[in-house]
Amino acid sequence: MDDPIQLFIFASLREMDYDVEQIDENTQLGPRGADLDSLGLAELAIRVEDEFGVKFNEEEAEELAGATVAEFCAVVRERMTAGASAASAASAAPAAE
Amino acid sequence: MRHPSRLRAALATDPEIGAGNVLAKLVEHGAALDGPGISFDVAVDGYPAWTPLTLGVLRERVAARAAWLHAAGIRARDPVAIYVTSSADCLLNFMAMTWLGAIPALMNGNLPGDIAVEYIRRLRGAGVLADAAHRGQIEDAGLDVPILPDVSQAGTGDPADAPAHYRHHDDDPVAITHSSGTTRMPAAVVHSHASLFAATREEHLAAPRTGDQERMLCVLPAPHAAGIISTQQALCNRHELLFLSAQGGRFERSGAAVLDVIERWHPTSVYGFAVTWAELARFDLSQRDLSSVGLWFNTGDCAHEAHVRRLVTCGSHLTYTRDGVTRVPGSKFIDGIGSTEMGHSAFRAVHRMTSDRYGRCVGKPYAFAEVALLDTESGEEVPDGQVGHLGLKSPTLAPGYWNDSASTYRSRLRGYYLTGDLMYRDAEGYYYHVDRAVDAVDLGGGHWLYTAMSEERILMRCPDVRDCTVVAGRAAGQIVTDVLLLLAPGADPGADRAQAIADALGKPAAATLRRVVAVPEDDIVVGPTGKVRKFLMRQRHLAATAAP
């Protein structure tokens, strides 16, 4: 496992006092798996936002309950890519007069 | 003792749990007997009103009723009508009858006696359990089913005499509930052990816990599917639950009753039908202490933006910020649209103070619901942006109408249950409810009058109107539309709102506008759950005021 996003998520969960021995990439974050509550999901989302420069609103953070660690990583990666393309498109666009 | 969250996982994955055995399964999976059961606004077997009954006491009080009903001859598969006012009489006897494998047919206490008698007759049941107020309405009607002794006796059974709990199969009938009866005799709908629990299993046990110990105030009607589902949702999630009787009492006074209870009991969430939010619109909520409330949950008809916006500015909720866990002002409102037959809301829209997606947006379907907007002529789905009939496939769907296969099959199309709602979907996948199919009026030339959507727009354009009803139909050979307004306290009854209302209706419908009138409360005919009975309103109103 060398995916930096996944490594960061596991490190965060450890810091947040979750038993990561019981969690793998196929574990859901919510009650069917790691059992993060809504505040835990919001904290994890903020940690990921700060580390990877992506954004989640309050509702999206709650909806992460149904996602596995791997699915969450995929969403983060997707947003990073979308953010990067938006940034490069903005820098390529001619400046407004 | 298991940690509650482990208990939730155990319940969600138990293949045998369903609406018929929630209490038994909670105990089997190790839920603490001194943990929360239900609080009622009425006394229960010597426990004063408002006393929190623990899970253990709740189970004992249900066992007492199971023993009493068994002694009265009630057995598995017996349909038994329950016609009472108090939420305790309804819910405790519901659980006791499912203990026996019987089929409680829950009736709203607001149903008038003559309707109730005919409804009971059509059930072809094994008995009727009623409270004193309702016995008087049915006992001389010549019903050919036995009326059991008064419901107040049911708690006198000895819990030790309760027989072994009935073992349900997923398909077993566990309850008959009825529709709101807004258009006709209420339809009796049968729910199965699995269908009435499906939303709890798929959604409510899968949602993340909140930071608070949840205290859920239920203003939903106990005898309806939403009342049963909310009860099992609270029990399985180990929330504290206060269940008000009869949606807080007479509708015109229920807003005050609900506010008083919020200030007294400090719920973290309030569950209700649209009528509750409309009634709360009578009050200046900034003058009341609603700080405990973080969630308002609506089902049945979708709520009006004007009502939702006022509520989400009230209350508070815990959130996690870069400064840690903090309580912030404002609450969220979960809107949806559901019905007895649908067995739960099929859609979910979340509104907060920052929301701006309204216009009768009901959000997106729950993960367990498969929806299609259909052209009922061709059976094909309509494209985005076009209004179609909502078809639903869902594990929550009721298997059908009781003693009425004709209606059961008439409401199905290509495997979907037709809910009777008209909706459209936008390009982003959000769904919008425009009207009940029976209330929409074809104006010709491709134009339609959607009464529910029109009401939504009127409320947004006329802030001093608390609620309104658009009544349209044929009078003297042409389509006429009357707009009936319920004004907010202090509003000027003589104010000229005609232009604002014509704008709200749009040109084709505005051309049919006959009059706009502020009416007294009792001019609006509502059904037992507070829904406006438009079918009756049309008949009475258009007939009484037909053009000369």
**Predicted pLDDT of residue B1:** 29
- The answer on B459 and B419 residing in a single domain is no
**Predicted pLDDT of residue A95:** 45
Pairwise CB contact (< 8 Å): A31 & B210? no
Q: Give the DSSP per-residue string, B458-512.
A: HHHH-TTEEEEEEEEEEETTEEEEEEEEEEPTT--TT---HHHHHHHH-HHHHTT
Q: Where residue B81 sits, what CATH number does that domain have?
A: 3.40.50.980
Q: What is the extent of the structural domain holding B537?
A: 439-544
Q: Which of B206, B320, B322 sits opposite A30 (nearest CB)?
A: B206
Q: Is this model's pTM higher than 0.95 or not?
A: no
H or E, element range at B114: helix B113-123
Domain-embedded: residue B188? no
User: In Å, how far is B19's CA from the nearest CA of chain A?
Assistant: 21
What lies within 8 Å, CB to CB, of B452 at 6+ separation is B301, B360, B433, B434, B435, B436, B439
- The answer on B160 and B207 residing in a single domain is no
- The answer on B374 and B225 residing in a single domain is yes
Q: Where residue B485 sits, what CATH number does that domain have?
A: 3.30.300.30
Q: What is the extent of the structural domain holding A29?
A: 4-88
Mutate to test the interface with A, among B320, B327, B354, B361 (most CBs of A within 10 A): B320
Domain-embedded: residue B197? no
Domain-embedded: residue B180? no
- The answer on B267 and B221 residing in a single domain is yes
ipTM comes to 0.80
Pairwise CB contact (< 8 Å): B207 & A62? yes
**Predicted pLDDT of residue B120:** 98
Residue B208: list chain A partners with CB under 8 A. Answer: 30-31, 36-38, 40-41, 62, 65
**Predicted pLDDT of residue B3:** 43
Number of domains observed in the structure of chain A: 1
Provide the residue type at A12 as one letter: S
- The answer on B516 and B464 residing in a single domain is yes
H or E, element range at B23: helix B22-28
Residue B322: list chain A partners with CB under 8 A. Answer: 46, 50
- The answer on B489 and B460 residing in a single domain is yes
Tokens of residue B494, six digits: 């003589």
Residue B205: list chain A partners with CB under 8 A. Answer: 31
- The answer on B403 and B453 residing in a single domain is no
Low-confidence residues in chain B, pLDDT < 70: 1-5, 181-184, 541-548
B31/B25 Cα distance (integer angstroms): 9
User: In Å, how far is A20's CA from the nearest CA of chain B?
Assistant: 16
Sheet with B173-178, side-by-side order of all strands:
B127-130, B79-83, B103-107, B173-178, B188-192, B400-401
Domain-embedded: residue B194? no
B178/B395 Cα distance (integer angstroms): 19
Length of chain B: 548
- The answer on B414 and B350 residing in a single domain is yes
Phi, psi of B18 (to 5 degrees): -165, -175
| Side-chain-side CA neighbours of residue B85 (13 Å) | 13
- The answer on B245 and B152 residing in a single domain is no
Query: Which of B433, B449, B473 lies at the terminal end of a domain, its last residue?
Result: B433
**Predicted pLDDT of residue B334:** 96
The predicted-structure confidence for A16-36, as pLDDT tens digits, reads as follows 999 888 899 999 999 888 999
Domain-embedded: residue A26? yes
**Predicted pLDDT of residue B525:** 79
**Predicted pLDDT of residue B536:** 77
Domain-embedded: residue B121? yes
Provide the residue type at B193 as one letter: H
- The answer on B429 and B379 residing in a single domain is yes
CB B273 within 8 A of CB B300: yes
H or E, element range at B271: strand B269-272
Domain-embedded: residue B182? no
Number of domains observed in the structure of chain B: 3
Tokens 């969250």, located at residue = B5
Closest to B28 (Cα-Cα) out of B167, B197, B162? B167
Domain-embedded: residue A94? no
- The answer on B143 and B84 residing in a single domain is yes
Domain-embedded: residue B259? yes
Residue of A nearest to B6 (CA): A31
Residues 3-62 of A with CB under 8 A from B: 30-32, 35-43, 46, 50, 58-59, 62
Considering chain A, what is the average pLDDT of its residues? 87
Pairwise CB contact (< 8 Å): B320 & A39? yes
Domain-embedded: residue B254? yes
- The answer on B303 and B411 residing in a single domain is yes
CB B454 within 8 A of CB B443: no
Domain-embedded: residue A95? no
Buried b (16+ CB within 10 A) or exposed e, B434-443: bbbeebbbeb
Q: Where residue A58 sits, what CATH number does that domain have?
A: 1.10.1200.10
DSSP H helix total and E strand total for chain B: 16, 27
